[in-house]
Structure 1
């Protein structure tokens, strides 16, 4: 991924590179190795959010390694 942002290996949230913990799930397992990007504004109404098991609005990586 060209971005310098990180993705959480647990919930796939995309976070700023200076974050040490995921603001969504609290995990410290963050990686630069991710691809795909989706912004979920209304998780309660989103089929993608349901498929990804996302309950919080935010930016998420589609694939995290």
Structure 2
């Protein structure tokens, strides 16, 4: 079974497992405890991106604990 990547508790961006800070926002609050995954390619035209307050393209966790 593959190890889960790390989601940022601040912006929900999904980072690589060996990350110590979030690639998207720089926060050091990362966790393996997350669920759901959405890839946002065009945040400027995405209703989900607006709801999640996402400005940058990438993979995001829907629920982060």
Do the two structures share a fold, i.e. TM-score over 0.5? yes
Please state if 1:54 is matched with 2:35: no
In 2: Cα distance, 1:51 partner to 1:19 partner? 26
Matching of residues 1-65 of structure 1 within 5 Å: 3-65=3-65
Deviations 1:39-59 (A, max 9, x none): 000000100000000000000
Q: What is the root-mean-square deviation of aligned Cα atoms in Å? A: 1.0
Q: TM-score, normalised by structure 1?
A: 0.94
Aligned length: 64
Structure 2, unpaired ranges of 5+:
none
Structure 1, unpaired ranges of 5+:
none
Q: TM-score, normalised by structure 2?
A: 0.94
In 2: Cα distance, 1:45 partner to 1:11 partner? 18
